A and B are shown apart, each in its own frame.
Chain A
Amino acid sequence: AQSVTQLDSQVPVFEEAPVELRCNYSSSVSVYLFWYVQYPNQGLQLLLKYLSGSTLVKGINGFEAEFNKSQTSFHLRKPSVHISDTAEYFCAVSDRADKLIFGTGTRLQVFP
């Protein structure tokens, strides 16, 4: 069965610093991987997704993620964060039954 692990429940960072949010997955089939962002008391919004092709995926708001098959990872990165990036970030994998399996989320807190 597929699963997703987000090792960091919280990541504090200062404004304009780089950030990496980690995501590891387990799957016995080819994977489709997603990163979603959730601002307080709102629904989720897609940041980016990996379906096939280039392992470096660029998304909205300056975020990017790299698919690493050998390490079964899909880490999210941004070279310089803003206060407005403060939110909860969810990694998800699409399983063989066409369902999304979500990680437990990482709360990114950006300080001025």
Chain B
Amino acid sequence: DGGITQSPKYLFRKEGQNVTLSCEQNLNHDAMYWYRQDPGQGLRLIYYSQIVNDFQKGDIAEGYSVSREKKESFPLTVTSAQKNPTAFYLCASSTSSARQETQYFGPGTRLLVL
């Protein structure tokens, strides 16, 4: 089955700790995205990548980092600089980053701070 997998489903972070959220896709998509979802705020774009070895900041990139070493993988690291990391994180991919392309979403990772 083709799709997007995110792991873990739940993740707990301690003060001062960096944590990494995994996102893998087997759809052969070039573009990948990370969103943060908070209640009542919709989805906000953190980072996106149009192609391997390239990525751009979204609207709320501070306190986050990404890498895109392989086409199928786009991990997100939530660093200790992100002071309010509790949220639902969604990864998505699309054939390309063209405006008309549909984005396909993974099941999400819920990050909680201990």
Contact = CB atoms under 8 A, between A and B. Distances in A.
**Among B98, B105, B110, which residue has the most Cβ atoms of chain A within 10 A?**
B105
Interface stretch (A37-45, A68-76, A78-86): A37-45
A43 B42 contact: no
A36 B58 CA distance: 20
B43 A102 contact: yes
Contacts of A104: 40-42
Interface residues of B, number: 25
B45 to A, nearest CB: 6
Contacts of A45: 105
A43 B40 contact: no
Interface of B: 4, 6, 40-45, 48, 50, 58, 90, 92, 97-100, 102-108, 110
13 contacts: A41-B108, A42-B108, A43-B4, A43-B105, A44-B43, A44-B103, A49-B102, A51-B100, A96-B99, A98-B97, A98-B98, A99-B45, A105-B40
